Amino acid sequence: MAMQRRSRQRDAILKVFEVKGAHPTAEEVLSEVRKEIPNVSLGTVYRNLDQLCEAGMIWKIQMEEGPCRYEGNPDGHLHAVCPICGEIRDVWPSGDPIARDSLPEEFAEAEYRLLLISPCERCRPNA
């Protein structure tokens, strides 16, 4: 029974990530999951998010400020953050966005996380 409840929570959490372009915080995941499972706690949501990250099913996005976000899209893309409203958007580079040739050889295979800081459409003065 406990096992069944755990997987139901997990399924409800994974469903939140089916929304295209969603990068929810743990609190946002909680409020979505509560629509389905009203008594779920924030601690449970964090525990499940950690497990899903470890399993490589979702990814954590460390923000410059504020709580971290979670990503459900495995395809390689970057994130742009609006410095005014904090909105996060997906950015799809047409090639490798860093010139690996310019890095010392030891970093040739390094993973990297880039955050582009740029006003979103709504916050851009002349949009």
Binding residues: 82, 85, 120, 123
* φ and ψ at residue 59, rounded to 5 degrees: -135, 150
Cα–Cα dist 101/114, whole Å: 17
90 near Zn ion, rule: CB under 5 A = yes
Residue 17, both tokens: 């990530």
Residue from 19, 84, 91, 110 touching Zn ion (CB under 5 A): that is 84
User: Quick check: 123 binds Zn ion (CB under 5 A)?
Assistant: yes
Q: How many residues belong to the chain?
A: 127
**Residue with smaller CB distance to Zn ion, 96 or 121:** 121
- Binding residues for Zn ion, total number by CB under 5 A: 8
Angle, alpha carbons 59-64-68 (nearest 5°)? 35
The reply to whether 120 sits near Zn ion by the rule CB under 5 A is yes
Q: Which residues bind Zn ion (CB under 5 A)?
A: 71, 82, 84-85, 87, 90, 120, 123
